[in-house]
């Protein structure tokens, strides 16, 4: 076993076990659905690949180590991981949910789990009092995202976890935007962390995957039962790709964040920009709180382009940054929340929660920041009315 203390080493070494046949430095891709057993009732470690696969198990050990949890679970997508976590609850239960969670999370609660009488109440979780006011006998968990997408609202993970614990509720954190390199919710008191590993953990926009980490054996046993029973497991090849992606998580995120800070500062000082949402900017509302619970502001920025500029033209004029859904890859992407990620929200509600038509979201990649700044600068100039 490799000996290390810090997360920059853990991303490379955690979960990796010595392959006893070849001493391979990397975890092999065990592309098999079943395993030969030595005899009946001999309780083999590996029997059928939905129940367990050595490549997936290495990834699950890796994410559990990084999040400082008890056990990790790998799923076919972020939504499959979130669905599995929601299956821990029963009909009649209610979950308090951050009022601007990922659209897919809202959709599965509203259109799938509600049919089974698992209910949700949307709350502004940036205030602990708002959460407290909504706690009833039926409430069993608080589900948060911080920072939120696309307006980067920050929720106090420690305060929410303490409140939840005092009422016997579970705290679930979607840590997709930050990753365990920047923020570790379980260390702050949360019970369950979920990830769309499609984003920063994979990091190369080349796979779809989800992870969940729980903090106790009791939750681990229940999650394992659900993972094995429902069966949306991550395949061996994608497990390998994700292990490979996570090895560079620390160096990638350092660059994502330093590029993002430079771009956020540039935008903040530009006359064409009326507001910048970036948790790493000192002038940003959630800066203090985010700095307390996360290493830095991460790689996601949103901003409002002034009415003197045509936001449609801005998108058309970018020549390096691609217009696309998703985030967290090495390449920079731009998205228009009002017509893309948040299109399903009615226009009046969108305007009320601040997702205006001139809101632009950037997933800042790890290119040379001067190339990114030049592209943004050119696109702003070209979009002047
Ligand atoms: C993308 C995303 C998800 C869903 O993950 P998939 O891998 O697309 O299924 C969940 N939460 C957040 C914050 C996301 O960005």
Q: How many separate domains does the chain show?
A: 2
Tokens of residue 266, six digits? 């540039």
pLDDT in tens, the chain (385 residues): 789 999 999 999 999 877 888 989 999 999 999 999 999 988 899 999 999 999 999 999 999 999 999 999 999 999 999 999 999 999 999 999 998 889 899 999 999 999 999 999 999 998 999 999 999 999 999 999 999 999 999 999 999 999 999 999 999 999 999 999 999 999 999 999 999 999 999 999 999 999 999 999 999 999 999 999 999 999 999 999 999 999 999 999 999 999 999 999 999 999 999 999 999 999 999 999 999 999 999 999 999 999 999 999 999 999 999 999 999 999 999 999 999 988 877 888 888 888 999 999 999 999 999 999 999 999 999 999 9
Q: Select from 77, 80, 100, 104 the residue to mutate for testing ligand 1; criterion: most ligand atoms less than 8 Å from CB.
A: 104
Residue 371: give the domain boundaries.
250-382
Q: What is the C-alpha to C-alpha distance for residues 128 and 210, in angstroms, rounded to an integer?
A: 28
- pTM greater than 0.85: yes
For residues 310 and 349, state if they share a domain: yes
Distance 264 CA to ligand 1 centre (A): 24
Distance CA 61, CA 308 (A): 52
Is residue 243 domain-shared with residue 158, that is, in the same domain?
A: yes
Structure tokens that stand for 106 in this block: 């809202």
End-of-domain residue from the set 222, 247, 272: 247
Angle formed by the axes of helices 369-382 and 249-268, to 10°? Answer: 40
Same domain, yes or no: 56 and 139: yes
105 shares a domain with 28:
yes
The CATH number assigned to the domain holding 123 equals 3.40.640.10
Tell me: do 264 and 348 sit in the same domain.
yes
The pocket around ligand 1, CB under 6 angstroms, is made up of: 77-79, 102, 104-105, 145, 149, 174, 176, 196, 198-199, 208, 210
Residues shown for the chain: 385
- My answer on whether 133 and 144 are in the same domain is yes
Q: Is residue 328 part of a domain?
A: yes
Q: Which atom of ligand 1 is nearest to the CA of 105?
A: 10
Q: Does 48 reside within a domain?
A: yes
Task: Say which of 199, 252, 350, 361 is annotated catalytic.
Answer: 199
2 is a domain residue: no
């Amino acid at each position: 076993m490799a000996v290390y203390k810090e997360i920059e080493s853990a991303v490379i070494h955690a979960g990796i076990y010595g392959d006893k046949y070849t001493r391979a430095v990397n975890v092999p891709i065990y592309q098999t659905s079943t395993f030969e057993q030595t005899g009946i009732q001999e309780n083999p470690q590996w029997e059928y690949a939905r129940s367990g696969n050595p490549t997936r198990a290495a990834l699950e050990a890796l994410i559990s180590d990084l999040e400082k949890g008890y056990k990790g679970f790998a799923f076919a997508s972020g939504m499959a991981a979130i669905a599995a976590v929601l299956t821990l609850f029963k009909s009649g239960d209610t979950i308090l949910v951050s009022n601007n969670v990922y659209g897919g999370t809202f959709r599965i609660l509203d259109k799938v789990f509600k049919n089974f009488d698992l209910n949700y109440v949307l709350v502004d979780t940036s205030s602990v009092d708002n959460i407290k006011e909504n706690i009833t006998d039926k409430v069993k968990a608080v589900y948060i995202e911080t920072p939120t997408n696309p307006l980067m609202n920050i929720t106090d993970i420690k305060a929410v976890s303490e409140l939840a614990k005092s009422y016997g509720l579970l705290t679930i954190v979607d840590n997709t935007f930050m990753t365990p390199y920047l923020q570790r919710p379980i260390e702050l008191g949360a019970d369950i962390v979920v990830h769309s590993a499609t984003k920063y953990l994979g990091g190369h926009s080349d796979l779809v995957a989800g992870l969940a980490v729980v903090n106790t054996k009791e939750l681990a046993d229940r999650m394992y039962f659900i993972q094995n029973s429902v069966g949306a497991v991550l395949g061996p090849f994608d497990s390998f790709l994700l292990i490979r992606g996570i090895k560079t998580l620390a160096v990638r995120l350092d660059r994502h964040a330093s590029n993002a800070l430079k771009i956020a500062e540039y935008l903040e000082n530009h006359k064409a920009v009326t507001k910048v949402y970036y948790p790493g900017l000192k002038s940003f509302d959630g800066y203090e709180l985010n700095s307390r619970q996360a290493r830095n502001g991460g790689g996601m920025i949103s901003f409002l382009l002034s009415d003197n500029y045509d936001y449609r033209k801005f998108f058309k004029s970018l020549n390096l940054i691609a217009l696309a859904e998703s985030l967290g890859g090495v390449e920079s992407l731009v998205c228009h929340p009002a017509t893309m990620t948040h299109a399903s929200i009615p226009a009046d509600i969108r305007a009320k929660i601040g997702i205006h038509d001139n809101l632009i979201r950037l997933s800042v990649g790890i290119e040379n920041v001067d190339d990114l700044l030049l592209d943004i600068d050119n696109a702003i100039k070209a979009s002047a009315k």
